[in-house]
Structure formats: C-alpha cells, structure tokens
Amino acid sequence: MDYNFKDIERRWQQWWREQQTYRVEVDASRPKFYVLDMFPYPSGAGLHVGHPLGYIASDIYSRYKRLNGFNVLHPMGYDAFGLPAEQYAIQTGQHPAITTERNIARYREQLDKIGFCYDWNREIRTCDPDYYRWTQWAFVQMFESYFDTKLQKAQPIAALVQHLAQHGTNNLNAACTEPLCFSAADWNGWNEAQQQQTLLNYRLAYLADVMVNWCPALGTVLANDEVKEGLSVRGGHPVEQRKMRQWCLRISAYAERLLADLEPLEWSDSMKEMQRNWIGRSEGAEVQFEVEGMADKLTVFTTRPDTIFGVTFMVLAPESDLVDLVTTPEQKAAMDDYRTAARRKTERERMAESRRATGCFTGRYAINPFNQQRIPIWVSEYVLSGYGTGAIMAVPAHDSRDFVFAKTFNLPIIQTVIKPGEQPTDTATWTESYDSKDGIIINSPLIDGLNIKQAISQMCAEVEKRGIGRRQVNYRLRDAIFSRQRYWGEPFPIYYKDGLPYPIADNQLPLQLPSISSFKPTEQGEPPLARAEQWHTPEGHPYELSTMPGFAGSSAYYLRYMDPHNSQALVGAEANAYWQNVDLYIGGTEHAVGHLIYSRFWNKFLFDMGKVCQNEPFRRLVNQGMIQGRSNFVYRIKGTNTFVSNGLKDQHDVTPIHVDVNIVENDVLDTEAFRRWMPDYANAEFILEDGRYICGHAVEKMSKSMWNVVNPDDIVERYGADTLRMYEMFLGPLEQSKPWDTKGIDGVHKFLRKFWRLFHDAQNQLAISDEQPTPQELKTLHRTIKKVSDDIERFSFNTCVSAFMICANELTDLRCNKRAVLEPLTVLLSPYAPHIAEELWHLLGHNASVCDAKWPVANESLMADNTFTCAVSFNGKTRFTIELPLNTPANEVEQMVLNNEQTSKYTEGKQIKRIIVVPNKIVNVVVS
RNA sequence: GCCCUGGUGGUGGAAUGGUAGACACGCCGGACUUAAAAUCCUGUGGCCCUUGGGCCGUGCGGGUUCAAGUCCCGCCCGGGGUACCA
C-alpha cells in the first residue's frame, strides 16, 4: 500500500465543499488579489486535456497568492449563450436552455475532479436572467449616452439634448455616425420622431443602416472578428456584404483611449500589437480636390500628402454615395453594371482576386490643387467605403495597389520619391512601386529635396494654409455591430413606437427571453423571436426581434463576480472599491481582438458613467498555449486487413489510418483492443517488429475526427488529479503550444509517490522525525523554497515542477523524514498538488486546511555552499573546474588558477595576455 | 505582403552574455523477484579514441565580445495574427 490518490482526492474534495474552504468575502484587513480565467462556453463535447491548462495555472497562482496572505477572488462561470446550442435546437427541437444546463453539469463535474479552488458561490451564467439583466442594463446606459470628443468620455444623452436645444450643432463635440449640421431653431421645431431619429446619430448604442457581414447559412449578421477569410468562424460558411438596419455600439469613439491605455498593461507584446493593429491608428491629411463642372468637392484621406504631385487618378469606393453624383451620363450604364457586379460578390470572392484590379471610369476629372493637373476619377472595389472618406488620391509610383490599378488601366505613373543616393528612373520600366517611407522628394515644386518625413509635415501645413484640408487621424476600428438574428442570446431591452426605438425602464428589467415553438427564422426571414407570442409591451409596442451577440454577456462578467448576488447594481460600490479589477487574467489568444477589445470598451464606458472605479479591466494578461493532439497511425496494406508496424511500413504499399490514442501506449498498439475497436478490424492481422506493433505519430489539432482526444477524467481516474495538474504544467512553458503526450506522465506520478514515501516508512506508516535538520537538508529545503517561489512569480511552472523533483530526489538520498523540512515543503507543493498536500498536512497534525498555511520564506544564508565550482576556461573554452571557497577575491582566484598544474597544459609555449575572473563562477584565461 | 512568435539530443524541454542539454520520457545495461508489477542503481548529443582524452555541436551565413543558444546584421523554415485601411 502506498499513495492512494483516489481515496485522498475524493475525501478532500468533499471536505473542501463542506468546509467552504474556497469561499471569499470582502475583507478590508487583507490585500485583495483577483485571478480570472476566461470562462468557457459549455459545449456538448465536454473538456479535453487542453482546456484545463490555463485553469490549472491560474489555480496554482491563486493558491500561491492566498498562502502569501492575499484575499484571493478566483471565480468561475459559463458563457452560456451561443450558436451551437441553438443549432442543436433547430435540429432536434430540444430547447437550448436544456442542452446548456446539461452541458454545464458535465463541465462542473469535470472541473470538480481536478480540484480547483473556485468560489462556486459566485458562479455566473450569461443566460441566467439575473445575470443578463445587467447586460441589458448596460445596453440601456449606452443607449442613453453619447461620447464627448473633447472630454474623451461618455456623457448622458440629456446633456446633448440640452446642447442641441440651445446651440444646434454649433460647437458640438460628439462622436456621430455622420456629421450633421442644424440650428437650435431646427431642433426645437422638430417633432419627437425627428428628434429621436437625429439622436440615433449620436447615441453610444444606436440603430443604423450599415454594411454588415451577412451569413446566409446561419441566417444572421456577424461581427468582423467572427469572420475569417470571408467565412464564418463558427461553421465556416460563406459571408457576404449587405446593408441592413442594425444595432451598433460606438466603440470607435473610444479608439484613442483603447490605444493609449494599452501601454501600461502587463500584456504580451504580441497581444498588444494585435490590439494596436485592430485599432489601426493612422495619421495623415484630408485634402479637397475640385471636380470639373461641379460645385461639390471631392475629399480624400491620405497618409502621404508628400506624394500629391504624383497623383495621376482618383478612386471612389463602389458603395460611395459620391459615385452617382460624379458619374457622367455617358458612363452611367457601365458604372451601374460595375457596381452591381461588385455588390454581388462575397467578401471571399473579392479576396480571391485581390491582386487583380477591377474598375470603371466615371467620365469626370478632378483638379490637383497643387499643379492644376486634370486627373480622371475612377471607381474600384479596392477602395473601401467605410474607411477614411471612401475616396483616395492614387499615386501609382508609390503605392502598390495604385500601381497595379494604373498598370491594368494604362494610367500614367509619375515618380516623386527616390531612394536616397539614387537617380530617378523611367517608370514605364517599373515592375513594382516604391512604397518605402525612406526617400527624397523630387518632381514636387514645394518640397523637392526634402526627406519624406519633412515633406509630409510641410504638405500638411501647406494644405491647412490654403484652406483645402486639414490634418486628420483615422482608425481602422469599426463600430461593433450588435444585432444577431438569433434566438439564444440576450433580448434587447428595446421596444418600438412609431418605428423608433425606446428603452425599457430599469425596473422592468430583465426582459426575459420568451419561449418559442421553433428556433428557425420565420418564413418571411425574420429572426426567431418573431415567432414569440405577446412579444410586446403591455401597451402593445413591439419588442426588438434580434438578440445580442456572444460578446455581450462576456464583456462585463468579471465585474459581476465581485458581487454576484447584488440585485441593485451590476456591482456594488463597496465590492468594486475592494476588488478593483482583475490582477491576472488567463486565457487563449483567440480572444485578442474580440472579447478583449469589447471588454475594455465596456469597462471604459462604465468607468465614464462612474459605475466602476478602474479604467481598465485586466491588469495582467497571460495567454496559455494550445495543447495539440498527438495522433497515432496504423498502416494497412492496401486491399488487405493486414496492418504493418511503423518500422516496416516502407516495405509495403500502405494506407495510414488514425487509430484511437486510448488503445495505444507509448506508440505500442494494444492489438486486442484494436480488434475490438471497430467491427471492420475484428479479424485484423498484424506484422510486428520485435513482437510489438509500433504506431506512427503526428502532432495535430486535438479533435474527435483525429482520434487523438484525451479526456482529463481518464487521466484523473488512472493517475489522479494531482498528477494531471503537475503534468500539464510540466509539459512546457505555459504560453507555448505543445502536443499532449501521455507518455511522460509517469515521471510526475513517480515524483508524487516519492514525495509520499518521504513521510512514510516501508510499511506505509507515518514516520516523521522531530530532529533538527542537517545543513545539507536545510540547503535543499531553502533552495527549493527560493526556486519554487521565483518560478511561480515568473510563471515558469514547468521548471518549478523540476525543482520539486530535484528536491524529492535529494531528500530521498538523504533519507530525510524531518518535520522541519517536510512541513514547509508540503505548503510549497499545495498549489500544484492540493489533494496530496492536504492529506499530508493533516497527517502532520494540522486541523485547518493547508490553504490557510503560510508560504515559507527562503533563508539565503542556509542555501549557499561555502565553496563553489569554478570553471576554468582558456580563450573561452572551459577545460577543467576547481573547488574554491565562496567569495574568494579575484586576485587569489587568479593565483590559484596559475598555480594549478593543469593550467600549464594549456599555457605551455603561449603567452598569458589577460585573466578575467567572474566572481563565484568562471575564470577565463586569454592566451596568445 | 505586413506585424508578432519560435527554431537546442530519439522526445517534451532547461540554461540573469560565463561549464549547453537541468528535469522528465524513451532506450541500453544491471540489482531485487520463481515471475511480473513496483522500486532502486549505471549509462545515454554526434564523431574519433586503448585508458587520460580529443574534435564537432543550439536552423544557415556573417559580426560584436576575453566569452554568444543568448546581443547585432542578412537569410531559411515553422506557428499565430492581419490583409486592398490609402
């Protein structure tokens, strides 16, 4: 009998539940620490071993912080609204709430087995009306707000109404959908409907006709981050562009703050960079061009005003309203054809031919304000209507897209920039444009000879001086489209009167999701909620039919955990003041530009409203890598039912077949299990090598179809939760993607058994001595304390596991069973292996949980040897080592090296030029 | 294309500019055992070599340095993000 993990784990999990060991409350006497995992979507497939990786890391850190005296908030919940449950409902008629409930129960069961220290009293589910009430509430708050661009913060819409009533749009600093211009008299003369319509132009949550990503297969609109390469992220269905009336969040108003506030966050560089790219700030100028024969001017946005003398044509986006205005009657027919064709293309088709230029001439010319050249105005889909002004000045010599277009349509190319130190060349011979921002301006009267940076700055000044434009900063970040034509999401707290939206009063929230008979869209193509009976206010005003997107419920969930049962507020002021924001957030990179941008925006809005005390939600972010699957293959000889072992497969014509990794151990196939695995293989024959069938292997995504899914329950069953936890950490650096490979888990399991044996004699009886530890033992102990503490602090969980192993090996060699050594080590181990630590802690005679112990402190003076191994190098090559007393002065080290008999071997016949002594480390002798 | 990352034994991976390969898996050999399991011990980057040892080694090519896996420059390859953003 020895380490009985099954018994231990069952017992202590139950005890923790009974004792409410992990319950936390606001406690002003202790410092707080908030550790958060990205909550999961409870899918039907359950957890595989990849999912808990981040949870284990955060659990270790939580426990570590708690042992260091922090009051740690470490909650868990479920992101429970979502497409899969709805799709399943459409197929089976099963209500998504039931599927979701079942999946959550399964998740909980799996999570519980791993021994996490979550405070389950704080569990939240985004589909719970008590929760989504606050999602709806936040939406109403946004509806009732606008963004003051001067103050750079959200303000109540009432302040805007007052301004409009007094001054109209004069001196108005409000982020808007499109710039409007009207007087106070206009405003005051409008009726309710006109005023409400106008306010939608300013609200932070607003309704507008926008181009959206429409996914016909899913029957819904998708956000930009839900689309990848023209296909929906969920399901991979084609997505097309369509103009629809949708709810939007004016997240673009926050672009500058979202960008600037990124700086001090402790996030990885790549994560910050992804956010910066997504926000996409670019500085440049808006410049007006006169159009021949028209009063209206054409405004373009450019980051390269220095190249304005190289403009040879202009381009409008096909969707731009200006196209109709500009196109001449002769060109109208051709233009209509072109625009229709462009509109019909899906995003994917446009991308597929991204390198080929398409376009249509409008028939009209603009005038270059700097040299009065006539320049043709074209329309092409490579210009986007949603960015800048939807129109560009094209400089084919210095922009690769313009270059391709000019080549295709045979338009002139004028060079205005040369590479430093080079001469201008004939642009007709060019095969690509010179886009670099390193160069000298030529052919440009005002700025010849300047470098690009100077030229840009000078041209901006010139444009402003002449009154034909101004400096301008643009962002790529678009407003978030917030409507989904689906059932399984938060209903909008909105009803319509005379076709205009109004919010539902606070005290009427939550507006609960009604039950409906079928989850499909209606025959008329309306969202599923159109099937709901009584889906209107008591006065008979209809409710909004779409629901909120997935990111709605996850945008403020971290706030709700602080105060999950508060019925008066999303989070009470007291709880918020104590918990502040998330100190450590762990999750995958896949949320880099979705959830993490939306949450930051949502939090900033609530901060502006004075509802939360922190400007940023997540102080420190750590991204765990993906755990990939390690697939195994068997090789069937073609046309037979005979399988040949990996090493011999080259001698036959074989088909590799994925085989369930659960019937393979260390790449050796359990041939009997294989015969039972599928009826087809019942009579399988094997060609073995060394009496075994060896499988091939490959690293692939962990998925059912690859037969490489490893279930954590199976691992827990076989090795215990503590082994699973330690092994997941031992696998490699947290942030790195790595394949799961069950072989190797033995090493960790052996360590835990070894650790157990330190406390027990050969008969598995507790055998702890109260003797004083020897200096050797103290050295091992204190080195381990130091190493483990440091490693947890810097998230090096894999090397930390190694430190435990080294420690156990050393103590086993020393036959150390002393309480003074083992007791602190048990505390040290408890974040990683809480069950065994709890067991040993109680065996040591404690009644309270090991969670409430104190983290030991390393005593540096007990750690050190009094000698060190000094490496002696000659010209950088280490030749031998010598033992020296610690802190030997450099000159003495030098002498000892010179006097050493081995030294002469390397210095014979050579001249010693220099000796470099690195204290307590190495000596390098430089010889000629 | 652009922006991030990473490239070290058979494998996962260690290594504040200072003895490359810690720790673990696997493998080889051994002990205990009737046997197995479990446990323990020894060896294990490559190439020479009789022992002592020698030479070569961190994707490739240069450089800085007494000293480079680590820093700099130029390539090659993998992973992630993003894509007509003017």
Q: What is the pLDDT of residue A697?
A: 76
Q: Which nucleotide C1' is nearest A229 CA?
A: B83
Q: How far is the CA of A287 from the C1' of B68 (A)?
A: 52
Q: How far is the CA of A877 from the C1' of B56 (A)?
A: 14
| Mean pLDDT value across chain A | 90
Q: Which nucleotide C1' is nearest A666 CA?
A: B26
- Nearest protein residue to nucleotide B22, judged by CA and C1' positions: A802
Average pLDDT over residues A157-173: 95
Q: What burial class does residue A648 get, using C-beta atoms within 10 Å of its C-beta: 0-12 exposed, 13-18 middle, 19+ buried? A: middle
Question: How far is A889 from A897, CA to CA, in rounded Å?
Answer: 12
Q: Above 60 in pLDDT, residue A828?
A: yes
Nearest to A380 by CA among A413, A335, A411, A330: A335
Q: Above 90 in pLDDT, residue A67?
A: yes
Average pLDDT over residues A311-332: 91
Q: Above 50 in pLDDT, residue A384?
A: yes
- Preceding amide of A503 cis, omega within 30: no
Q: How far is the CA of A791 from the C1' of B17 (A)?
A: 22
Q: Above 50 in pLDDT, residue A791?
A: yes
Q: Which nucleotide C1' is nearest A922 CA?
A: B18
Q: Which nucleotide C1' is nearest A2 CA?
A: B38
Q: What is the pLDDT of residue A903?
A: 85
Average pLDDT over residues A841-855: 95
List bases, strand B, within 7 Å of protein CB. 3-5, 11-16, 18-20, 22-27, 38-41, 54, 66-68, 79-86
Type and span of the H or E element at A572: none
Tokens of A67: 């042992």
Q: What is the pLDDT of residue A346?
A: 64
Residue pair A508/A491 in contact by the 8 Å Cβ criterion: no
Q: Above 80 in pLDDT, residue A355?
A: no
Q: What is the pLDDT of residue A348?
A: 61
Q: Above 50 in pLDDT, residue A584?
A: yes
Q: What percent of chain A has pLDDT over 70?
A: 99
Q: Above 80 in pLDDT, residue A345?
A: no
Q: Above 50 in pLDDT, residue A219?
A: yes
Tokens of A187: 């405003």
Q: How far is CA A686 from the centre of its chain?
A: 46
Q: What is the pLDDT of residue A605?
A: 97
Tokens of A544: 């909004």
Residue pair A103/A88 in contact by the 8 Å Cβ criterion: no
Q: How far is the CA of A799 from the C1' of B21 (A)?
A: 15
Please tell me whether residue A244 adopts helix, strand or coil conformation. strand
Q: How far is the CA of A699 from the C1' of B22 (A)?
A: 26
The answer for residues whose C-beta is within 8 angstroms of residue A469's C-beta and 6 or more apart is A285, A286, A287, A288, A299, A463
Q: What is the pLDDT of residue A298?
A: 92
Q: Which nucleotide C1' is nearest A875 CA?
A: B66
Tokens of A625: 């890598």
Question: How far is A811 from A192, CA to CA, in rounded Å?
Answer: 81
Count of H-run helices and E-run strands, chain A? 30, 35
Question: How far is A892 from A130, CA to CA, in rounded Å?
Answer: 74
In terms of pLDDT, which residue wins out, A739 or A583? A583
Q: What is the pLDDT of residue A1?
A: 47
Tokens of A319: 């969707």
Tokens of A796: 């090096």
- The tens digit of pLDDT for each residue in A683-724 reads 888 888 777 787 877 777 887 878 888 889 999 999 999 999
Provide the pLDDT confidence category of residue A422 given band limits of 50, 70 and 90. confident
SS (H, E, C) A410-471: CCCCCCCEECCCCCCCCHHHCCCCCCCCCCEECCCCCCCCCEHHHHHHHHHHHHHHCCCEEE
Average pLDDT over residues A606-614: 96
Question: How far is A493 from A504, CA to CA, in rounded Å?
Answer: 5
- Nearest protein residue to nucleotide B81, judged by CA and C1' positions: A274
Tokens of A321: 């309203």
Question: How far is A335 from A380, CA to CA, in rounded Å?
Answer: 10
Tokens of A132: 């989504």
Please name the residue that has the structure tokens 């999602």: A135
Q: How far is the CA of A884 from the C1' of B34 (A)?
A: 53
Q: What is the pLDDT of residue A225?
A: 76
- The tens digit of pLDDT for each residue in A527-564 reads 999 999 899 999 999 999 999 999 999 999 999 999 99
Question: How far is A184 from A197, CA to CA, in rounded Å?
Answer: 16
SS (H, E, C) A1-27: CCCCHHHHHHHHHHHHHHHCCCCCCCC
Beta bridge partners of A696: A633
Q: How far is the CA of A471 from the C1' of B17 (A)?
A: 47
Q: Which nucleotide C1' is nearest A276 CA?
A: B3
Q: How far is the CA of A919 from the C1' of B18 (A)?
A: 10
- The tens digit of pLDDT for each residue in A496-515 reads 999 999 999 999 989 999 98
Question: How far is A497 from A500, CA to CA, in rounded Å?
Answer: 5
Query: For the residues of A146-167, what is the DSSP string, one character each?
Result: EEETTTTEEEEHHHHHHHHHHH
- The tens digit of pLDDT for each residue in A615-650 reads 999 999 999 988 888 888 888 888 888 888 877 777
Please name the residue that has the structure tokens 């960790």: A748
Rg for chain A, CA atoms, rounded: 34
Pairing outcome for strands A685-687 and A642-644: parallel
The answer for residues whose C-beta is within 8 angstroms of residue A740's C-beta and 6 or more apart is A49, A50, A627, A628, A629, A630, A702, A710, A731
